[in-house]
Amino acid sequence: MDNGGNGGGKQPPPPFTSEHEELRETVRRFVVKEIAPYVPEWEEKREFPRELYRRCGELGLLGLKFPEEYGGQGGTHLHDAIWVEELSRRGASGGVAAGLNAHSSIAMPPIFKFGNEWQHERWLTPGIRGEKIGALGITEPGAGSDVASLKTTAKKTEGGWVVNGSKTFITNGVRSDFLVCAVKTTEEGGHGGISFLVIESDMPGYEVTGKLEKLGWHASDTGEISFTDVEVPDSHLLGRENEGFMLIMANFAWERLLMAIGAVGAMDRLVEVSTEYAKEREAFGRPISGFQTIRHKIADMATKAAASKALTYDTLRRFEAGEVVIKEVAMTKLLTQRSLVELADEAIQIHGGYGYMREYEVERALRDARLGPIGGGTDEIMREIIGKNMGM
């Protein structure tokens, strides 16, 4: 029997316990029934319905790790991890998962962690219900890996800030209601001069200047945003002035770990669909799984998937226990994102010409996977973090 890739009938591997299995089953049923069948249509249309946020909100899936007083489920990061893993494991595309998670797991955590009661009420509670949609705005046309060099400025005025600048590559940037936005609040900017403002998309001077076309993640919107003299009240400052860099770093750990967890789910799925296909597809009078090269490809895929899962679950366990895992998170992201690209490529090879066709999901899997070594910090930056944390 299928047990989420954990092996039939066994106890779930740590950090998960049998207590988590009920949620896994709920998410699995939901994704299989209400998401996976519509993915081809949403990918083609370049968006999924806004209504999906509300539906996820109704089921409690956007607030798994937030306290009940805000409408959340009062769970932990482990509950969120199950949601993210099962989304990709059960057939949500990278774009659908990105659109949902950029809101619930990337834009809302800093509001919860650094926000005050007024801010929780204004963005977190409606966000958990899927009524307001959030995005995280850090990257700019001239500042990606080098986050500290961002140029969007917020100038202090009586009672607030005036924001000028632009952001790019923002997931949910086109349809978000609020943007958790990094801005320069000193002349010099840099590590000690960045703050976060929550900017609402209906504020005068806030303009979505583009919806970007991409290689993959088609069902997610990736926006370009410009700010022209946007007046943002003081009450929208998230956390302390000039301490935004800390918020960026705090957020990255979970974002990267989530990307790893999503990849783990996607890898299990690729192994599964490739195995099924290899058993069914015949060439030279026998199933292609009868050829040692194909069997070995799948054996290598399964091995990489298992190694990625082991490292990811271990980093997740340590993260949840409160350990400082900067190096481990970077290692986990580096390994899982590259492994997923390799697995998706092999899955296409096993599927032959059909693998190159839109009809088979492995074609999309490779396009979606290619974002992994770039987004949320590139492979090269992960290696820099690992090297620095090894004292070099």
Ligand X SMILES: Cc1cc2nc3c(=O)[nH]c(=O)nc-3n(C[C@H](O)[C@H](O)[C@H](O)COP(=O)(O)OP(=O)(O)OC[C@H]3O[C@@H](n4cnc5c(N)ncnc54)[C@H](O)[C@@H]3O)c2cc1C
User: From residue 373, how far is each of 95, 212, 275, 333, 344 by CA, in Å?
Assistant: 16, 19, 26, 8, 14
Measured from each CB, the residue nearest to ligand X is 144
**Residue of 47, 140, 224, 255 marked catalytic:** 255
Q: Residues with Cβ < 8 Å from 291, sequence gap 6 or more?
A: 283
* Shortest distance (Å) from residue 74 CB to ligand X: 27
Scan residues 233-262 and list those touching ligand X (CB under 6 A): none
* Shortest distance (Å) from residue 75 CB to ligand X: 24
Tokens of residue 19, six digits = 């207590």
Nearer to ligand X, 15 or 376 (CB): 376
Nearer to ligand X, 137 or 262 (CB): 137
Residue 171 touches ligand X, criterion: CB under 6 A: yes
CA angle 270, 271, 272 (to 5 degrees): 90
Chain centroid to CA 58: how far? 21
Position among 93, 119, 139, 336 found at the interface with ligand X (CB under 6 A): 139
Residue 177 touches ligand X, criterion: CB under 6 A: no
Residue 62 touches ligand X, criterion: CB under 6 A: no
Following DSSP, what letter does each residue of 51-112 receive, concatenated?
HHHHHHHHTTTTSTTS-GGGT-----HHHHHHHHHHHHHTT--HHHHHHHHIIIIIIHHHHH
Position among 3, 11, 116, 145 found at the interface with ligand X (CB under 6 A): 145
Nearer to ligand X, 84 or 273 (CB): 84
User: From residue 53, how far is each of 17, 35, 72, 135, 213 by CA, in Å?
Assistant: 28, 12, 14, 13, 22
Tell me if residue 255 is catalytic: yes
Interface region with ligand X, contact rule CB under 6 A, candidates 51-59, 251-259, 362-370, 380-388: 380-388
Residue 29, amino acid: R
Position among 15, 115, 137, 239 found at the interface with ligand X (CB under 6 A): 137
Neighbours of 375 (CB within 10 A): 20
Residue 144 touches ligand X, criterion: CB under 6 A: yes
Nearer to ligand X, 31 or 385 (CB): 385
Report the alpha-carbon distance of residue 315 to residue 330 in Å, rounded: 10
**Residues lying near ligand X in the complex (CB under 6 A):** 102, 135-139, 144-145, 169-171, 214, 217, 222, 371, 374-378, 380-381, 384
Q: Which residues are catalytic?
A: 255
